[in-house]
Structure 1
């Protein structure tokens, strides 16, 4: 896949799609508490996308070559699951950390992709620290986005901050572009 240079209309449509994806996270926030299953979170998000927003959940039935179709409308990665966790019967308990990955497709065909980490109930000091450091990493990466910068600057500043806080980065997964395709180039390592 090659990088598609976006025009002003593309950028405006991408902003709408990303705002809609973030609204799903805002909607689901009060439901993320001890006792709910990841499957119920998925069901609630799917209904909100379909019935309130008129969007389509991009992960649902997504099947890259060599993989079975993804069964959920969202990804629910609990505790040690790095990403792309499959929603199901797992009941959240106080202290769990869960990342909800939301990707919507608008009627116009644009993808909006975002995620948020939640600490369920009373989290441990370590869970809260991980959430704080990853949040800081995100903002440090965002601050690198400007004319004349290089994509490697984003990954570099994130890696330096994470490692400085005693964490490591996962090299098997990366950031990616958005637009009218799921996981567009460029891939951001």
Structure 2
């Protein structure tokens, strides 16, 4: 069931989004060679707690951490761990904030120290794909318009778009209807309406789009072992166009 949010609900979600964005901004300088994703996870949880919020995915369907931390060939839902990050790695930190009952969801891919030109290009293309998708998130458009725009751009750059994981509606729950596919056909899918709040979160692979699941039942990685990146924002559909609730002014 798709829920339409009131102005008050969107305002509350925007406050949660601002807090999440501020956390991501701090991570820009914290993520360096030698830090562990477990240390990042603890930092995020402490930061949210200090600001009166909680990490919503901790305990969600049994998920044990405050963040997902996906390194290199991990597409999404990577478990934070004790091994230090190395120069040349890329890591995606995904977090859902609950602030006074309002949720916001954002993932961001970070370079660890100096990374290769190929990895830099992957991050650039993936972030641009996110914004290309957001530009289609306007009342009257359909979900397929978002997916088509992202797929056309990503494949035009000779990358692949992951199909096993999608964006989603968000509100009182992390995952609500509708699903937001990052591939698809223009003019198809659910029509976007003012008051809907969704996530757009393209996951882009250097190689093929196929994924494999780790034994932990959560972590997905590229089937060919090549790099993957992801950027995600929470978006409100408004009469004035898409409102990025998790904006970092990027």
TM-score by length of 1: 0.93
Bigger fraction of residues in helix? 1
Q: Which moved more, 1:76-85 or 1:17-26?
A: 17-26
Q: How does 1:22-33 map to 2 (within 5 A)?
A: 22-33=21-32
Distance (Å, rounded) in 1 between the aligned partners of 2:57 and 2:6: 26
Tell me the residue number matched to 2:96.
Answer: 103
Residue number among 48, 53, 56 corresponding to 1:58 in the alignment: 56
Other-structure match for 1:17: 16
Secondary structure class of the residue paired with 1:25: helix
Q: Secondary structure at the match of 1:82?
A: strand
Query: 1:97 Cα shift?
Result: 0.5
Aligned residues: 181
Q: Distance in 2 between matches of 1:18 and 1:178?
A: 12
| Distance in 1 of aligned mates of 2:168 and 2:136 | 15
CA distance in 2, matches of 1:20, 1:83: 22
Cα deviation, residue 80, structure 1: 0.5
Partner secondary structure for residue 91 of structure 2: strand
Distance 1:3 1:112 in 2: 17
Equivalence for 1:152 = 144
Distance 2:93 2:145 in 1: 26
Residue 187 of structure 1 and its aligned partner are, at CA, apart by 0.9
Q: Which has the higher strand share?
A: 2
Cα shift at 1:27 = 2.0
* Structure 1 unaligned regions, length at least 5: 64-68
Deviation at 1:33, TM superposition (A): 0.2
Aligned-partner Cα distance in 1 for 2:169–2:36:
30
The runs of at least 4 aligned residues of structure 1 exceeding 2 Å deviation read none
Aligned counterparts of 1:147 and 1:40: Cα–Cα separation in 2: 41
Please tell me whether the aligned partners of residues 176 and 185 of structure 1 are also in contact (alpha carbons under 8 angstroms).
yes
Question: Any stretches of 5+ residues in structure 2 without a counterpart?
Answer: 182-250
Cα distance between partner residues in 2 of 1:111 and 1:16: 9
The answer as to 2:114 corresponding to 1:122 is yes
Residue 163 of structure 2 is matched in structure 1 by 171
Match for residue 43 of structure 2? 44
Report the alpha carbon displacement of residue 20 of structure 1 after superposing the two structures with TM.
1.3
CA distance in 1, matches of 2:96, 2:26: 14
> CA separation in 1, counterparts of 2:138 and 2:174?
23
Name the SS of the counterpart of 2:77 in structure 1: coil
In structure 1, how many angstroms separate the alpha carbons of the residues matched to 2:17 and 2:71?
A: 23
CA deviations over 1:86-112 (Å, ceiling 9, x no partner): 1011210000010110111012x1111
